Amino acid sequence: MSFYPMRTKTKKWTVRVISHFAFFSLANSWLEYVRDADKERLLKKNTMDMLAFQTDVAHSLITCNKTAQKRRGRPSNESPQPVAKKAHNAEPLPTNTVRYDGCYHWPERVSMPFAQRC
């Protein structure tokens, strides 16, 4: 746990305990990742070190609840561009942790007065 310690300075013991447990669970997850990589016989250069693992987990946690925001309004007619077809794999895939987390994959509930006529 002392490879990359969390730098939280606070006098509140609750914040210190919560950050300690969060870092402790992250360190245990990294150790399990390293053990699984050894069982799969991955090369050491292909396995993530603890800092890269922490960064990957942080990136997954940051992006897991974000939704793509649609642009609102009428498109401008200043420079009409020819409509090009979008490539099939134009959007990058999310990480596996975000793909299989099981949240926000349900249809959105819309409050309409007559929902059967949509």
Distance CA 53, CA 67 (A): 24
pLDDT at residue 39 in the model? 92
pLDDT confidence tier of residue 112, bands split at 50, 70 and 90: confident
Distance CA 18, CA 47 (A): 28
Task: Tell me the mean pLDDT in the region 12-20.
Answer: 87
Task: Tell me the mean pLDDT in the region 45-51.
Answer: 89
> What value does the mean pLDDT of the chain take?
78
Tokens representing 44 are 């050491």
pTM, two decimals, is 0.50
Domain ranges within the chain, ordered by starting residue: 12-64
